Amino acid sequence: METKESPPQPFRILLVDDQVENLQILSDILESKGHQVLPVMSGKLAIETAEVNPPDLVLLDVMMPEMDGFEVCRRFKAYPALNHIPIIFVSGLNDTANKLGGFQAGGVDYITKPFHIEEVLARVETHLTLQRMRHELERYNLYLEDLVQKKVQEISDSQLATILALSKLAESRDDVTGEHIERTRMFCKIIAEELQRSCHYPEEVSESFIETIFHAAPLHDIGKVAIPDSFLLKADRLTYEEFEVLKSHALIGAKTLQTVHDQYPHNAIINMGISLARSHHEKWDGSGYPDRLRGEEIPLSARIMAVADVYDGLRSKRLYKEALTHDKCRSIILEASGKQFDPVVVDAFLAREAEIADVYEQMADAQMGNGQ
């Protein structure tokens, strides 16, 4: 780690004693060594001063009116912003019981009066050195955490880019525009956001769920890499046998992603990708494929994708069909609510249909502008 050396800053030392003479003597000793001294004459003032201007070290008398040093120390340790500050007791009470009481209250050292200047300086410097080392360690730990986060982000970004690239490879063989996965991931995100806003499926739809479905959505058709071009690009209606082959992309995609899951079992994107790939052709009434799941047996992510996928498919021109208007697509989806689609997901789609239509049209305009 490369850092620029900066001049050392003076340490702030809070002195707490109800005797002016003691404050003056200690102030002179510590200021002669370049320290910044904050003298106060009561425990109450000590806490107020430390809250405004936290010191690096406290020298604290024990015998004071209103609030003794032990109580002051305990209050320091009760404040999260102050409990890390080392406290040295300076007291005329030199019996073992009082010294033990000081350590039990949270003090780090105990100096008895009358004190020797050399002893005070030696103990103060020892604890300031320890404090300096703690600060350096904290700073270095923050640096390491930041470095790790950056590396993790780099790895995460590269993984997401790889997922998107592979998904586009699968899509490019049968999608005229090449933007189906970009649009459907946006549709899924919008629908999921609406489900969260309307408090539907609150145990499932969280911020993490929304982010994950956005990144996992491109994987839904990854199994199409195994389907022959003659089926994907056929302009006429598929025969029964051809359609059965096409349907196999759901299981192929899920099994492919399962092999990745076996290596990275805690990857949320891959885990959701398996559900999306396998189940986005399931239908609410149980007539879908490959498992003929019914209702909420179908993973929520796949129920969301089902609506997003069909909407984009209906709106898009293909070799075997013309594009439909938004209103026509809306009518088809509404008619299929409770049959093909989860009615709650359809309601979320309808609540944000204007935004979804705008996304489709904006992305279509961008493709036209790029000559696609």
Are residues 214 and 354 both part of a single domain? yes
The pLDDT of residue 94: 84
Residue 166 lies in a domain: no
Residue 241 lies in a domain: yes
Are residues 79 and 179 both part of a single domain? no
CA distances from 56 to 11, 36, 107, 118, 182 (A): 6, 10, 14, 20, 54
Are residues 127 and 260 both part of a single domain? no
From 103, 124, 143, the end of a domain falls on 143
Residue 107 lies in a domain: yes
User: How far is 78 from 89, CA to CA, in rounded Å?
Assistant: 17
Are residues 51 and 122 both part of a single domain? yes
Are residues 138 and 181 both part of a single domain? no
Residue 162 lies in a domain: no
The pLDDT of residue 138: 78
pLDDT class for 2, splitting at 50, 70, 90? Answer: very low
Domain count, the chain: 2
The pLDDT of residue 161: 60
Higher pLDDT pick, 359 / 229: 359
Residue 163 lies in a domain: no
**Residue 102 amino acid letter:** G
CATH number of the domain residue 58 falls in:
3.40.50.2300
From 98, 123, 143, the end of a domain falls on 143
Q: What is the pTM of this model?
A: 0.58
pLDDT digits (tens, 9 = 90+) for 121-168: 998 999 888 888 887 877 877 776 776 566 556 545 656 665 665 665
% the chain with pLDDT above 70: 85
Residue 7 lies in a domain: no
Are residues 206 and 254 both part of a single domain? yes
pLDDT digits (tens, 9 = 90+) for 28-72: 999 999 999 999 999 999 999 999 999 999 999 999 988 999 999
CATH number of the domain residue 178 falls in:
1.10.3210.10
% the chain with pLDDT above 90: 53
pLDDT class for 24, splitting at 50, 70, 90? Answer: very high
Higher pLDDT pick, 230 / 104: 104
Are residues 209 and 303 both part of a single domain? yes
Are residues 49 and 115 both part of a single domain? yes
User: How far is 57 from 14, CA to CA, in rounded Å?
Assistant: 6
pLDDT digits (tens, 9 = 90+) for 62-99: 999 889 999 999 999 998 889 989 999 999 888 889 89
The one-character DSSP state at 222 is G
Residue 156 lies in a domain: no
Residue 204 lies in a domain: yes
Residue 4 has pLDDT above 50, yes or no: no
Q: Domain containing 201: what range? A: 172-369
User: How far is 355 from 163, CA to CA, in rounded Å?
Assistant: 26
Higher pLDDT pick, 116 / 328: 328
Are residues 108 and 219 both part of a single domain? no
